[in-house]
Amino acid sequence: MNQPEIWHHWSGYLAAPRYQYSVLAEYYAVRDGVAVFDTSPLFKYRISGADAEAFLAKLFARDIRTCAVGQSQYTIWCNEKGFVLEDGVVMRVAENEYLLTAARPNLRHFRLHQGDFDVSIEDVSKAYGILAVQGSKSGLTLGKLTDAVSDLPYFGVTNTSLAGADVIVGRMGFTGSQGYEIWIKAEDALPVFDAIFAVGDDYNIVPLGEDALMLLRIEAGLLLIDVDFDSARHAWVDAQRETPLELGWKWMLRNLDQDDRDFVGRSAIEAEIANKTSRWKTVGLQIDYYDFERVHRELGIMPPKDSMLAQETHSLYDADRNYLGYATSVMYSPLLKKHIAIAKLPLDKCKRGTEVYLEIVPIHKPALVKANVVKMPFYNKTNE
């Protein structure tokens, strides 16, 4: 199934950068078809017990109490100083039971905040596999195996059975296209995988590798830990730490004035809002097509459009060459036919349309190309 036979390790599991020779073929399988990403290497936690809701209301910055049974939330957790530790998706599978995914191990952190709450916090990483069935035809594909997904709302969660196995399906994903994530008991994972591929063949289903997922999630405006931000946990100085506001997640704290939760980081975040002390904001950036062409043409070379630019960080300047901030996740969007990026800019440079200059290094020499602040996500068809 893995044609180039390249594997690497992801928290103890094998993961593939791509399964076909063409990353773009996998990318388009999601934008116009269906593909399956093996999300099993994520850390998985079950939080259950009489105080589960109260505990998570303290742990998470986003208000878990608005998440009913059969729903899920994209959420974050912070430290006491209001810096983001991590993000993840939490599903409420029963009145007193939640399932959570996270990129890094968090058991110790969660237990540190357990206090007197009547909850059990278990690592269930090994007990489940997770398949992310993503793509504009993902609903059609799963619809051939179960009736449960047809009217599942975005971020809805349901129990169903696939190929005879009991699974939990949430309508969610990391791609910006329609998608579902399926929690499968480890021992049932293979037959469920085979069943999905059998019905998906009508839509040319393929396995999805990490390279294509990277492109998809950037277009979807979804930040990635260690790429677009660092966890406050292992940072050395505050310059490396970021707050929810700085990461563009103020929407998660929308109704702060109406909720009385004493969540971790609350007072620091409230002070940041009141005193307007955010240092920057995370915004979308679109690189000017014509300027990018011009810079390369003047050097006599073709402008690179192979998806990810090699550099991790690109500096941003104003027209007078004053340093403003930086961009991460700079990529050529195969669908939008433009280079895009995720940028950190001072608050007065975040308005849509603001012109900034991105530093690139064609033929080893810095050059500036025009870019504009744009709405993020760059692409969003999660609800179609």
Partner 1 sequence: MNNSNSQTYDAIVIGGGHNGLVNANYLAKAGLNTLVLEARHLIGGAAITEELLPGYKFTTFSYALSLLRPDIVQDLDLVAHGLMVLPMPNDFHVNYGGVGLRMNADAGHNYHAVAEHSIHDAEAMDDFFHMVDRVCHAMKPLMDSIPPNTVSDAAADREYLAQFNDYLDSLDDDLKAQLERFWTGSMTEILDEYFESDFLKGYFSSSSIIGSMCSPSTPGSALVYLFHKMGEYDGEFGSWGFHKGGNGGFTQVLARAFEAKGGTIRLDSRVSHVKREGDTATGVVLEDGTEFNAKVVVSALDPKRTFMQLVDPATMPQDLIQHIEAYKFQGSAAKVNFALTDVPPFPGLEGNKSAFQGFLNIGPTLDYLETAFQDALEGRFSRRPFLDCCVQSTIDSDMTPAGKHVMSCFVMWAPYHLKDSDWDTERENLGDTVQQTIEEFFPGFSALVEHREVVTPLDIERIVGLSEGNIFAGELFSSQMFFNRPAPGWNQYRTPLAGYYQCGSGTHPGGCVIGGPGKLAAAQVLGDLEG
d(CA 304, CA 293): 9
Residue choice 30, 33, 39, 208 for contact with partner 1 (CB under 8 A): 33
Measured from the CB atom, is 211 or 230 closer to partner 1?
211
Closest to 131 (Cα-Cα) out of 216, 86, 190, 79: 190
Residue choice 54, 268, 308, 336 for contact with partner 1 (CB under 8 A): 336
Looking at 17-25, 101-109, 251-259, 358-366, which segment touches partner 1 (CB under 8 A)? 17-25
Residue choice 118, 202, 238, 355 for contact with partner 1 (CB under 8 A): 202
| Cβ 297 to partner 1 shortest distance, Å | 8
| Residues 284/340, Cβ–Cβ less than 8 Å | yes
Residue choice 46, 58, 137, 241 for contact with partner 1 (CB under 8 A): 137
201 near partner 1, judged by CB under 8 A: yes
Burial 310-328 (b: 16+ CB within 10 A, else e): eeeebbbeeeeeeebbbbb
Contacts (Cβ under 8 Å, ≥6 apart) of 196: 36, 131, 133, 141, 142, 145, 162, 205
Q: Which amino acid is at 151?
A: D
Residue choice 28, 45, 174, 180 for contact with partner 1 (CB under 8 A): 28
Measured from the CB atom, is 225 or 336 closer to partner 1?
336
Measured from the CB atom, is 249 or 332 closer to partner 1?
332
290 near partner 1, judged by CB under 8 A: yes
Residue choice 337, 348, 353, 364 for contact with partner 1 (CB under 8 A): 337
Looking at 57-65, 73-81, 199-207, 351-359, which segment touches partner 1 (CB under 8 A)? 199-207
298 near partner 1, judged by CB under 8 A: no
| Cβ 354 to partner 1 shortest distance, Å | 20
| Cβ 21 to partner 1 shortest distance, Å | 4
Phi, psi of 98 (to 5 degrees): -125, 150
| Cβ 133 to partner 1 shortest distance, Å | 15
| Cβ 164 to partner 1 shortest distance, Å | 23
| Cβ 68 to partner 1 shortest distance, Å | 36
Which residues in the 94-133 window bind partner 1 by CB under 8 A?
none
Residue choice 16, 23, 168, 324 for contact with partner 1 (CB under 8 A): 23
344 near partner 1, judged by CB under 8 A: no
Measured from the CB atom, is 25 or 107 closer to partner 1?
25
| Cβ 371 to partner 1 shortest distance, Å | 15
Measured from the CB atom, is 79 or 307 closer to partner 1?
307
24 near partner 1, judged by CB under 8 A: yes
304 near partner 1, judged by CB under 8 A: yes
| Cβ 203 to partner 1 shortest distance, Å | 5
What string of H, E and C letters represents the secondary structure of the chain? CCCCCCCEEECCEEECCCCCCCHHHHHHHHHCCCEEEECCCCEEEEEECCCHHHHHHHHECCCHHHCCCCEEEEEEEECCCCCEEEEEEEEEEECCEEEEEECCCCHHHHHHCCCCCCCEEEECCCCEEEEEEECCCHHHHHHCCCCCCCCCCCCEEEEEEECCEEEEEECCCCCCCCEEEEEEEHHHHHHHHHHHHHHHHHHCCEECCHHHHHHHHHHCCCCCECCCECCHHHCCCHHHCCCCCCCCCHHHHCCHHHCCCCCCCHHHHHHHHHHCCCCCEEEEEEECHHHHHHHHHHHCCCCCCCCECCCCCEEEECCCCCEEEEEEEEEEECCCCEEEEEEEECHHHCCCCCEEEEEECHHHCCEEEEEEEECCCCCCCCCC
210 near partner 1, judged by CB under 8 A: no
Measured from the CB atom, is 4 or 366 closer to partner 1?
4
Size of the site for partner 1 (CB under 8 A): 30
Q: For binding to partner 1 (CB under 8 A), which residues are involved? A: 4, 20-25, 28, 31-33, 137, 201-204, 289-290, 300, 302-306, 332, 334-338
